[in-house]
Amino acid sequence: MSLADGVRLAFRALAANKLRTSLTVLGMVIGVAAVIALMSLGAGAQASIEANIRGTGSNLLFISPGVQSATGGRFVDVSATSPTLTFEDAEAIREATIPGIVDIAPTRNTNASLVAGGNAFSTQIIGVTPSYAEVRTFQPQVGRFISDDDLRRRARVIALGQTIATELFPGQNPIGATVRLNNQTFTVIAVMEESGQATFQSRDNQALVPLTTLQTRISPSRTLAGDDIVSEISVTLADEDEATIEAVTNEVSALLRLRHDVTEDDFTIRTQQDIIEALGEVTGTLTLFLGAIAGISLLVGGIGIMNIMLVSVTERTREIGIRKAIGARRRDILVQFLIEAVLVSLGGGIAGAVIGGLLATYMGGVSFGGRALEGHLTPEPVVLALAVSVAIGLVFGIYPANRAARLRPIEALRYE
Amino acid sequence: MDGGPQENGDSTPVVRVEDLVKTYHMGSIDVHALRGVSFDIDKGEMVAIMGHSGSGKSTLLNLLGCLDAPTEGSYFLDGELVGDLSDDALAAIRNRKIGFVFQSFNLLARMSALEQVEMPLLYARDRQRRQRAEEALAVVGLEDRMHHKPSELSGGQQQRVAIARALVGNPSMVLADEPTGNLDTATANEIMELLVLLNQERGITTLIVTHEADVAARTQRVIRMVDGAIAGDDRTARESSAV
Ligand SMILES: Nc1ncnc2c1ncn2[C@@H]1O[C@H](COP(=O)(O)OP(=O)(O)O)[C@@H](O)[C@H]1O
Ligand SMILES: [Mg+2]
């Protein structure tokens, strides 16, 4: 029997039991659609995280205290005295005028409650220097950014993220208004531009104050030597070349090791690419995990096919006997039933890929945890899902088909 | 009954069986369906196999049709020993050398007459199967029923389809197990006419299992079976004029 004849026969056999065939196909459709939709959403999450990180400024290096594992944000202290990074470190890097470094922005974070009128907002307060706006490409939408003068005077001024501004001052212009922070009065000098979503914490939920103000008036934190501790130092590079990154990293490392009087790094320098990759690993694992859950429904679909094929073989025992009596070889029967199984699984795979693709595309509008989650349909999961459906048809079809092929003709003919 | 060389010598017999034994094991009981059967069938012969129910007729026909394997004994088909052939080799023999006609027709419900008749050629990968199937249906007088499904055909017409299916591959012999058993007398006569005609005009070697004496009367030779053994083997002159 030729393959074309086999496909024709299989179509007729499947058409003879339309409801049963559709239900079996549906099982596959659900499985494949789930795999493609979930994997696309995972890929979409990954892509949007990457875009966000890139959106926070380009050509950046991040220096943070302690040794961080490459894959995650977990701190591993290398010494008993917690490693620290100070404002003085940042100044030293600036003064060293290392070639390739354009600008530097030390920051320190703390959490506090902001109160204005009857409204309160608990959030992250970031102490920044004037260079922050440039380095992190985050500019005021209205008002002016924190100035050198503010920094010197430890001024009680504050720049609000968009979300905070609307929460604290609904329908009002917050510029020049005051907010209370740690029982002190701060004057709002700016509402920052909308940043959309940032990686873990939206910048729209953050408030910026001068670094010196944070250090003296909100949350003092000094080393034993009396230096001001910072959470992170961002460094803008002249370009994104590997060579520049490496040269700057080496120079900064040498400088900090010297200043900290250590032989091993007690700080971590990461590029944006490092962060993207580290997060990519997390989201990649998440994507795989989602895919695996969806894969279970694919497995269930496969079991459905096997179940139906076994029923079909039993029902058609006599047909198999007749075919064998007139000369069908084992292979002919095997191929006939295998083609049926694969047609069902592939049909389900194609329909599932279409539905999964539509889901992934149109779930873009769905808001998820306050941020729009966009499906990112790539060819890989589609090709994979189709290949997997064919494989499922073969794997779950082979046992019933083989059972049919091995029937003894005389017994099959006698079957009532 | 002899297992020796053929007297007319000009051709090998289509069938030669020697001491064919078939024993079914039903739990602890052995059922001796065939207890050592030997005979030859020459090319072009039309043979009736008669005997009471349970005498082993169907068992014998199934062995001759390579649907089942004997417990003991040897079977030569066209001079070739059909002994330890593989399943696929047996399938090929059934496909090329044997045409079956069953009491219960054994047609596939979903298929048109034409498709049923094409089926053996499908497995033989015959490219002209449509044309040959149409010819075979014309031979059995069903040229105007080719696209009908079994449910749209009478019993006699269904058996004609089955005969066309048996013929279409040009087999060495046609094996018919009580082909008229499910038909009324008039239709049974028509089917017998057809089988006799095919044997006479086309020289198709035919074995018919029957327990109807008037069917047996139409053949040249009657093998009588009793309890799994051959009790008589009468060659008579063909009474072609008698009905
Ligand atoms: N598959 C089988 N299993 C066990 N016994 C069988 C089987 N087929 C036939 N027999 C037995 O073998 C004997 C011959 O049967 P069969 O060849 O069908 O007789 P007939 O066709 O002459 O009526 C009977 O006793 C029958 O019960
Ligand atoms: Mg019988």
Segment A247-282, tens digit of pLDDT? 999 999 999 988 888 888 888 888 887 877 887 788
Helices marked H in chain B: 57-64, 87-97, 113-123, 129-139, 155-167, 185-202, 213-216
Given a cut of 90, whether residue B100 has pLDDT beyond it is: yes
- A195-204, A384-393, B174-183: which range is least confident on average? A195-204
| Of B62, B88, B165, Cβ closest to residue A326 | B165
Contact call for residues B228 and B203 (beta carbons, < 8 A): no
Which amino acid makes up residue A260? H
- How much is the average pLDDT of A357-372? 61
Given a cut of 80, whether residue B125 has pLDDT beyond it is: yes
Helix (H, G, I), strand (E, B) or coil at A368: strand
Q: Residue A18 — pLDDT band, cuts 50, 70, 90?
A: very high
* Shortest-distance ligand to the CA of residue B55: 1
| Range list of β-strands (E), A17-69 | 60-65, 67-68
- How much is the average pLDDT of A122-130? 93
- A52-56, A185-189, A406-410: which range is least confident on average? A52-56
Nearest-Cα residue of chain B relative to residue A12: B110
How confident is the model at residue A50, as a pLDDT?
Answer: 76
Share of chain B above pLDDT 70, in %: 93
* C-alpha to C-alpha distance for B59 and B33, rounded to whole angstroms: 7
- CA B6 to chain A, closest CA, distance in angstroms equals 30
Give me the residue spans of the domains in chain B: 44-69+86-235
Interface A–B counts its CB contacts (< 8 A) at: 64
Which is the closest atom of ligand 1 to the Cα of B57?
Answer: 22
Q: What is the pTM of this model?
A: 0.74
Place of tokens 């030569």: B76
Which is the closest atom of ligand 1 to the Cα of B60?
Answer: 17
How confident is the model at residue B7, as a pLDDT?
Answer: 46
Higher pLDDT, A41 or A399: A399
Contact call for residues B148 and B113 (beta carbons, < 8 A): yes
- How much is the average pLDDT of A347-374? 71
| Of A12, A13, A327, Cβ closest to residue B94 | A327
How confident is the model at residue A204, as a pLDDT?
Answer: 84
Share of chain A above pLDDT 90, in %: 47
- Whether B100 sits inside 8 A of A2 (CB atoms) is no
- Whether B88 sits inside 8 A of A331 (CB atoms) is yes
Put the strands of the sheet holding B72-77 in their side by side order: B29-41, B15-26, B72-77, B80-81
Contact call for residues B110 and A12 (beta carbons, < 8 A): yes
Bridge pairing between strands A367-368 and A267-271: unpaired
* C-alpha to C-alpha distance for A191 and A174, rounded to whole angstroms: 8
Given a cut of 90, whether residue B147 has pLDDT beyond it is: yes
Nearest-Cα residue of chain A relative to residue B117: A326
Q: Which two tokens stand for residue B191?
A: 């089917």
How confident is the model at residue A196, as a pLDDT?
Answer: 60
Helix (H, G, I), strand (E, B) or coil at A405: helix
Q: Which of A78, A55, A52 is nearest to A66 (CA)?
A: A78
* C-alpha to C-alpha distance for B180 and B156, rounded to whole angstroms: 9
Bridge pairing between strands B173-177 and B205-209: parallel
How confident is the model at residue B5, as a pLDDT?
Answer: 43
Kindly list the residues of chain B whose beta carbon comes within 8 Å of any beta carbon in chain A: 62, 65, 67-68, 87-88, 91-92, 94-96, 100, 102, 106-108, 110, 119-120, 122-125, 165, 169
Which is the closest atom of ligand 1 to the Cα of B228?
Answer: 14
Look at chain A and count its residues: 416
* C-alpha to C-alpha distance for B29 and B52, rounded to whole angstroms: 21
- How much is the average pLDDT of B206-210? 94
Given a cut of 60, whether residue A87 has pLDDT beyond it is: yes
- How much is the average pLDDT of B112-134? 94
Interface test with B, best of A5, A317, A326, A340 (most B CBs within 10 A): A326
- Whether B124 sits inside 8 A of A331 (CB atoms) is no
Give the CA radius of gyration of chain B: 18
Place of tokens 């020796």: B4
- How much is the average pLDDT of A134-153? 92
- Whether A324 sits inside 8 A of B91 (CB atoms) is yes
Q: Which two tokens stand for residue A249?
A: 């990293």
Higher pLDDT, A262 or B157: B157
Given a cut of 50, whether residue B242 has pLDDT beyond it is: no
User: Rounded to an integer, what is the distance from CA A251 to the centroid of its chain?
Assistant: 33
- A39-43, A348-352, B82-86: which range is least confident on average? A39-43
Q: How many CB atoms lie within 10 A of CB A231?
A: 15
Which is the closest atom of ligand 1 to the Cα of B52?
Answer: 22
- How much is the average pLDDT of A347-360? 89
Given a cut of 60, whether residue B110 has pLDDT beyond it is: yes
- Whether A327 sits inside 8 A of B87 (CB atoms) is no
- CA B5 to chain A, closest CA, distance in angstroms equals 31
Contact call for residues A40 and A376 (beta carbons, < 8 A): yes
- At B41-96, the pLDDT tens digits run 999 999 999 999 999 999 999 999 999 999 999 999 999 999 878 999 999 999 99
Distance B57 CA to ligand 2 centre (A): 6
Q: Which two tokens stand for residue A86?
A: 């100070």
Place of tokens 């459906």: A389
ipTM: 0.92
Q: Which of A370, A99, A32, A37 is nearest to A250 (CA)?
A: A99
Q: Which two tokens stand for residue A296?
A: 């279970």
How confident is the model at residue A371, as a pLDDT?
Answer: 45
Place of tokens 């290392």: A98
- Whether B125 sits inside 8 A of A2 (CB atoms) is yes
Chain B residues within an 8 Å CB radius of A324 = 67, 91, 94
Q: Residue A303 — pLDDT band, cuts 50, 70, 90?
A: very high
Q: What is the mean pLDDT of chain B?
A: 90
Bridge pairing between strands A119-128 and A207-210: parallel
CATH classification code of B44-69+86-235: 3.40.50.300
How confident is the model at residue B83, as a pLDDT?
Answer: 81
* C-alpha to C-alpha distance for B58 and A383, rounded to whole angstroms: 54
- Which residues, judged by CB distance below 6 Å to any ligand atom, belong to the binding site of ligand 1? B 24, 26, 31, 33, 51, 53-59
- Whether B123 sits inside 8 A of A328 (CB atoms) is yes
* C-alpha to C-alpha distance for B144 and B122, rounded to whole angstroms: 22
